[in-house]
């Protein structure tokens, strides 16, 4: 559909009114076979869901306890003490956004010394809980790095695939209980993202990754590309017919 809009803009005259452009666009849309327009899962959202699964299924309450600790640090008395010590202030997360939880936990680790020296024992994390928190952050750090990369507007399919594989390999190299749990949730979620004709076609056209495709996936990629070409030809032919009618009226 993006390509269809580009084709329309090429054929549109500078003096053509917005209503005429809209009429042409609607005419094209009506003649496009939408069953051939295939979408792909959002990678960032897929990653978000995998991390949420990971955090929801942890065999520890350390994230919730860390959140309560941060809330305690944000009370007026401790907020003033933190400001006086010229250290970074605590961040409270939005639980539905895992990246904010990552930033909250990262900042809390930065405030570990302050917490141990100033908070009452009932509000502190225990030594083993700080250790658990560090392991969680070790697992989430490469995921956060990938999330930032996925936010780039000019990210190509091949580059996305490369970055995704780097995340998988990094987590496998860590080989801790936490990273294995996270990896399990990611691999459960990634099937719908990576195992589709659109991805096969993109990898088939990328010299770096064409070799990773099986013969079956290569055939799927070729068929998908043929369908895309036919769809674009259909759009362009319809555009040309519109322009011919317009010139003759």
Instruction: Write out the H or E segment, with its range, that includes residue 92.
Output: none
- Which residue in 233, 206, 234 sits closest to 221, CA to CA? 206
**Torsion angle, alpha carbons of 112, 118, 120, 124, to 10:** 0
**What pLDDT sits at residue 83?**
86
Would the CA dihedral through 72, 74, 78, 81 be positive or negative?
A: positive
pLDDT higher than 80, residue 245: no
Q: How far apart are CA 221 and CA 230, in angstroms?
A: 14
Per-residue pLDDT for 249 more than 80?
no
Asked whether the predicted pLDDT for residue 4 surpasses 50, the reply is no
Would the pLDDT of 15 be above 50?
A: no
For the entire predicted model, the pTM comes to: 0.75
- Average pLDDT over every residue of 227-248: 73
Query: Which distant-in-sequence residues (6+ apart) come within 8 Å of 76 by Cβ?
Result: none
In the structure encoding, which two tokens stand for residue 25, read together? 């666009």
State the pLDDT confidence band at 232, using cuts at 50, 70 and 90: confident
Mean of the pLDDT values across residues 155-161? Answer: 92
d(CA 81, CA 86): 9
Residue with tokens 């570990």: 112
pLDDT of 29: 54
Q: What would the mean pLDDT of 63-78 be, rounded to a whole number?
A: 93
Query: Helices 127-150 & 177-194, crossing angle to 10 degrees?
Result: 20
Give pLDDT tens digits for 197-209: 999 999 999 999 9
User: Is pLDDT above 60 for 124?
Assistant: yes
Task: Please tell me the predicted confidence (pLDDT) of residue 135.
Answer: 95
Mean pLDDT confidence for 45-67: 93
pLDDT grade for 14, boundaries at 50, 70 and 90 = very low
CA dist list (Å): 59 to 62, 70, 177, 183: 9, 21, 11, 16
What is the structure's pLDDT at 41? 83
Look at residue 38 in the predicted model and tell me its pLDDT: 65
Check residue 42 and give left, alpha or beta (phi > 0: left; psi -120 to 50: alpha): beta
């Amino acid at each position: 559909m993006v390509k269809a809009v580009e084709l329309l803009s090429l054929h549109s005259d500078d003096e053509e009114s917005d209503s005429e452009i809209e009429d042409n666009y609607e005419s094209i849309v009506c003649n496009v076979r939408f069953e051939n327009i295939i979408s792909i899962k959002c990678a960032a959202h897929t990653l978000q869901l995998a991390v949420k699964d990971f955090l929801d299924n942890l065999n520890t309450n350390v994230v919730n306890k860390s959140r309560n600790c941060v809330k305690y640090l944000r009370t007026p008395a401790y907020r003033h003490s933190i400001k006086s010590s010229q250290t970074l202030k605590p961040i409270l997360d939005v639980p539905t956004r895992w990246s904010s939880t990552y930033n909250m936990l990262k900042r809390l680790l930065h405030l570990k010394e302050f917490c141990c020296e100033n908070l009452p024992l009932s509000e502190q994390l225990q030594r083993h809980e700080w250790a658990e928190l560090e392991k969680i952050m070790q697992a989430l750090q490469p995921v956060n790095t990938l999330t930032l990369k996925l936010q780039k507007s000019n990210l190509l399919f091949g580059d996305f695939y490369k970055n995704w594989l780097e995340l998988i390999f990094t987590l496998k190299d860590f080989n801790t209980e936490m990273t294995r749990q996270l990896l399990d949730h990611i691999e459960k979620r990634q099937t719908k993202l990576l195992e589709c004709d659109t991805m096969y076609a993109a990898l088939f056209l990328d010299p770096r990754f064409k070799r990773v495709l099986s013969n079956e996936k290569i055939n799927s990629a070729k068929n998908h590309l043929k369908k895309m070409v036919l769809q674009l030809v259909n759009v362009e032919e319809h555009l040309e017919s519109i322009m011919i009618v317009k010139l003759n009226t």
